[in-house]
Amino acid sequence: MTIFDKVKSAVSVKDAADRYGLEFDRKGMARCPFHDDHHPSLKLNEDYYYCFGCGEHGDAIALTAGLLGLKPGEAARRMAEDFGIGEDFKPSVMKQLKSYSSRVADERRCFLALSDYLQFLREWKTSYAPQPDIDEPDPRFLEACRMIEPITYWIDLLITGDTEQKNKLVKKLKEDGKLSALEKYLEEIRGENKSSEERK
């Protein structure tokens, strides 16, 4: 296995971009460093990148070479050093490590979203508790009453559950965009809270 094969087996395009300072969003879009790009037009996939603006494309080594101004061989050696890829490199081990890192990142993302949501729910249950002179309870109070228990259970599962339980929960939250929808909902709540504070 050549150094090129070792590096490409171990380092994804996104790993290289992150390591060498190319910022990208959750969808893997970045401002292309190979032309005067005012709006993100460079798409980063796991194995290759492609710019919809200038047509530049390649693998992780090509991206690193372009970002650092190196020749491909120099870029591959630099990446091997920076990512700790030695003579005893085994692709399967590196892939397992990547899989583990990805799983931990997903668990952390779920934990942060659920924790933020639980904090809002607890505040709502207190702040919007029914008053004697009001007939209809506030929808936020009702949502808190309905959701505090399941959200608390999911957070506990992420903290104390075994790997299989955590994987099932993360999969459940990510399927059909549930996690993304929750994150968007939390942003809306924060925006409403900020607007309320500014009006005071």
Rounded mean pLDDT, 151-158: 92
Confidence tier at 92 by pLDDT (50, 70, 90): low
Residue 33's contacts (CB-CB under 8 Å, 6 or more residues apart) are 22, 42, 66, 67
Rounded distance between C-alpha atoms, residue 81 and residue 84, angstroms: 5
Coil, strand, or helix at residue 48?
coil
Task: Look up residue 190 and give its two tokens.
Answer: 């924060």
pTM for this prediction: 0.53
pLDDT digits (tens, 9 = 90+) for 23-80: 999 889 999 999 999 999 999 988 899 999 998 999 999 999 999 999 998 999 899 8
Residue with tokens 């692709």: 91
Whether the pLDDT of residue 134 is over 80: the answer is no
The domains of the chain, with CATH numbers, are 3-82 (3.90.580.10), 91-199 (no CATH)
Taking alpha carbons only, the member of 118, 168, 165, 177 closest to residue 146 is 118
Please give the pLDDT value at position 130.
87
Residue with tokens 């194995």: 47
Confidence tier at 4 by pLDDT (50, 70, 90): confident
The side-by-side arrangement of strands in the sheet containing 49-51 is 29-30, 42-44, 49-51, 57-58
Please give the pLDDT value at position 131.
83
Rounded mean pLDDT, 186-195: 89
> What is the chain's length?
200
Whether the pLDDT of residue 113 is over 90: the answer is yes
Would you tell me how many other CB atoms lie within 10 Å of the CB of residue 125?
17
**Hey, which residues does 1 pair with through a beta bridge?**
none
**Hey, which residues does 57 pair with through a beta bridge?**
50
Higher pLDDT, 95 or 80: 80
Q: What is the DSSP string of 72-140?
A: HHHHHHHHHHHTT--TT--HHHHHHHHHHHHHHHHHHHHHHHHHHHHHHHHHHHHHTPPPTT-SSPPHH
